[in-house]
Amino acid sequence: MSVRGFRFIDQWLSENIPDGAWPDRVLASDLADRVLIAAERSGISAYEIDEEVGSVFSAVLRSMKERK
């Protein structure tokens, strides 16, 4: 289990989901791609994130719904 992966995605989403963003699938897909790129640049593999949160797309969409 990668707590590091969970912490990274949690922090990244809190900083990068636009305020008032509607939880749509296109934006969620874009953000999912961007968070994985940012994680790789930080030395965290997509595997570490997937291991912790499952579907990155679903995690992004869920986070968007919670912020609405």
User: Residues of the chain whose pLDDT is less than 50?
Assistant: 1
Q: Are 1 and 52 in contact (CB under 8 A)?
A: yes
Task: Give the Cβ contact number of residue 31 at 10 Å.
Answer: 23
pTM here is 0.86
Distance, CA of 9 to CA of 49 (rounded, Å): 7
Say what the pLDDT of residue 2 is. 61
Distance CA 57, CA 36 (A): 10
pLDDT of residue 1: 43
Structure tokens at 39: 């994680």
